[in-house]
Structure 1
């Protein structure tokens, strides 16, 4: 009834259908994440009781992140409304002028610093709200901001307290610090590649006409980047929200929230709940003013959490039906025997697309052990396999269509997931291949 091959094929078809539907943008992601997995589970023979249990488990894993979305998006949007970022935006815009490369390179460096704690969510929550207003003022596409942050997180995520290296250490039963020491030279070169890539993206935006006085394609952003569909608060509403006299108070609140994110074990959503509560009381005395401030961003603050909670249905079905494990086994079985001795290179090259398909935990705890065991039959050392798969997969952290951080990035930047995937995935895939080749040259694994 639940044959492994059937489960594997159905899992791949389900994910392919979801990704295709998201890119086509024919419907909202909520019904896609709910209906497609339920149909897939029914096809492979699971009944209502099983499916409802899968949903319950899946949603229980995403609700805390959904709460984080609500409070973090409203908090940072509110800080933008009251004018906290205005001085920095004006200063950077004035200094940069038409030197768009300076802004994109600065973005990469800010993202690197923000990712020192190894947490994807806090990096996005710090970097996007700080830099997005600058990008808007200089008419640089928000997807450019996302791809630079994605590249920065990918190379910085190799720190020992980052998830991928820790997971690899568990699978190999190896010391995490020892793994990291091997990866340090790659990280050093990767940071140079990151800055070059950020500068290149700045050149691309400059050619599009980005700058304080936009020309060419960038000028088209004038009417779209801020106003969207022209639905929602007017410019007068935003002007009314400014609180220039409270800028230092708001800065202290924001730094306090960031401090809680980086240096304490308080849940991320708890830090934003506290910050938002203080910000509302200080900036908007009275229930009516506070309600208006919240409603200004109710659309975005509710849309993304709904998508994330719906994705819990997908994750629950994928895990509960064992489709994930079956997909990993199926992918291993598709490898021709002729290339068995180079299996680590094959999986390294395919790290980003397979990572997008499986997600982080299933990639490292499902596929990696299988790949190591199969590779050993062809004489491939387990350490070689793990290094190749770790180095390349990292570049898919921001473009996994069923990961919470992907939707957090889209929500904060105001970018549709289809646009993000189309723009970021190919560029990050190319960077993964460059990183993989660099790792091979440094002797981290044999080809």
Structure 2
């Protein structure tokens, strides 16, 4: 029997290596989550058959979430290809006109709807190109556009097919759909808060001079026309696609079916109705395969890490070490402390190392103080979500600044403090609603 302190040291070393490798961004997460736990378990003296058993159990806990990602991303991708949300975006842009506050509020609505698929990149690619010329025309700082996108993505990313919620479900061995049902009231409140804050940002920009000297050289017609994308649009099927989307979401909310099954049904209808040709259906699946498969691979491989962490009892040994150094008075509130500082911690660690490195440790410590793992996870999830657009080693951060034409330091200087503030506000709203229990 290996000494618990040695086992804890190996566990901390394993997580340290994983976090370092993820931060270096020189290797994709999948081989990191596969190789590192195997080496750590061998060093700890476990046999290869035992390690394989732990890995298999871990993969089983994350497989349903991986399947969910494959079908949810493809489903929303197909509906966006068909132009389901185009009339909504065009209507808001037209109605906002030259009203600065209306433009910022419209941006919030567009980003919120665009993030129904849970993909940060898709949200940015829909919202920023649709609004950037309007912002330039009214002399509103582009960083405000990204800040509003970040706000919308943060609260909408709590959907079960969003990356963070899926990761929490994988770590806590819970159903992402059930977890989401508890978070829906917070999402509704968050959308209201975001709308109000978007209006406040519009007022602040107006005080800076936005909207006073309209830049007539910038027009919406300057936006690039993509013939291939236009060929995929199905304007005559807009109401049919709306019914498909509403029906799929209704299944998620009103039934206890597995979320991936609901998306399987929705995707089947969306593909056959919009693209009856077999080649077109295959092309749409391939078009969205990159995003869906890459995330599924990460979730499945992280199952090996979680399985080894649990099966070898490393997590128990590590939790005992952490408990010994945490002041007893702070122990029962560790979930709130980590939740409040989740945005800067998340900016440092990144998404995978935050949820698959820090969260299991925090759960282990929380158990010793009687904190329910899911309750603790929700506190860390809600806070961390507000840092999704200001993580320095995330690809979507650079996509955002590239689309908006700003420097990363401007994004961090302007957006990060506001997003951290909103993350804390969201956490305390969750406490008031009873979603997170202190």
**TM-score (structure 2 length as normaliser):** 0.64
- Paired positions, count: 366
**2:292 and 2:59 mapped to 1: Cα distance?**
18
Question: CA separation in 1, counterparts of 2:84 and 2:432?
Answer: 46
How far did residue 432 of structure 1 move? 5.6
Task: Note the aligned Cα RMSD (angstroms).
Answer: 5.2
Aligned mates of 2:321, 2:113 — CA distance in 1? 40
Structure 1, unmatched stretches of 5+, are 112-121, 155-163, 165-179, 216-221, 227-233, 373-381
Once residues 246 and 431 of structure 2 are traced to their aligned partners in structure 1, the CA distance between those partners, rounded to angstroms, is 41
Shift of 1:73: 1.0
| Match runs of 1:345-384 below 5 Å | 348-351=336-339, 352=342, 356=355, 363-364=362-363, 366-372=364-370
Query: How far did 1:370 drift?
Result: 1.1
**Partner residue, 2:154:** 150
Decide whether the 8 Å contact of 1:356 with 1:399 is kept in 2.
no
Aligned to 1:24: 24
Residues 327, 393 of structure 1: alpha-carbon distance in 2 compared, 3 angstrom cutoff? same
**1:73 paired to 2:77:** no
What CA distance in whole angstroms lies between the structure 1 residues aligned with 2:13 and 2:25? 18
Residues of 2 paired with 1:78 and 1:69: CA distance? 14
**Deviation string for 1:120-148 (max 9, x for gaps)?**
xx976599978862344224777863554
Give distance in 1, aligned partners of 2:148 and 2:19: 21
Question: Displacement of 1:46 after TM fit?
Answer: 1.6
- Tell me, yes or no, if the aligned pair for 1:151 and 1:428 is still in contact at 8 Å: no
1:246 match: 237
Query: Which residue of structure 1 aligns with residue 92 of structure 2?
Result: 92
How far apart are 1:294 and its partner, in Å? 1.7
Aligned to 1:379: none
Deviations 1:67-118 (A, max 9, x none): 111111111111111111110111223334555531455479879xxxxxxx
CA contact (8 A) 2:22 2:29 kept: yes
Offset, 1:30: 1.2
Q: Give, in whole Å, the separation in 2 of the partners of 1:54 and 1:247.
A: 48
- Which residue of structure 1 aligns with residue 46 of structure 2? 46
CA distance in 2, matches of 1:400, 1:297: 25
Number of the residue aligned with 1:269: 260
How high is the TM-score relative to the length of structure 1? 0.63
> Is the CA contact 1:75–1:272 (under 8 Å) kept in the aligned structure 2?
yes
99-108 vs 75-84, greater mean Cα deviation: 99-108
CA distance in 2: counterparts of 1:399 and 1:12, whole angstroms: 27
In structure 1, the partner of 2:280 is: 289
Q: CA deviation at 1:4?
A: 2.1
Q: 1:350 is paired with a residue of what secondary structure?
A: helix
Does structure 2 retain, via aligned residues, the 8 Å contact 1:108–1:152? Answer: no
Q: 2:380 aligns with which of 389, 393, 410?
A: 393
Q: 1:148 to 1:253 in 2, by over 3 A?
A: closer
Give 1:194-205 correspondences, 5 Å limit: none
Is the CA contact (8 Å cut-off) linking 1:8 and 1:330 kept in structure 2?
Answer: yes
Kindly provide the CA deviation profile for residues 293-351 of structure 1, in whole angstroms up to 9, marking residues without a partner as x: 22222222222211221111111112112222222222111125xxx445445663234
Aligned residues of 2:7 and 2:314 also touching (Cα < 8 A): yes
Task: Provide Cα deviations, 1:206-225, integer angstroms capped at 9, x if missing partner.
Answer: 99xx99xx99xxxxxx99xx
Equivalent residues of 1:152, 1:194 under 8 A apart = no
Q: Which residue of 2 aligns with 1:137?
A: 130
Are the structure 2 counterparts of residues 192 and 342 from structure 1 closer, same or farther at C-alpha, using a change threshold of 3 Å?
farther
Given candidates 98, 101, 105, the residue that maps to 1:102 is 105
**1-side partners of 2:431 and 2:279: how far apart?**
61
Q: Structure 2: state its 5+ residue gaps.
A: 133-141, 159-167, 169-181, 216-221, 347-353, 401-407
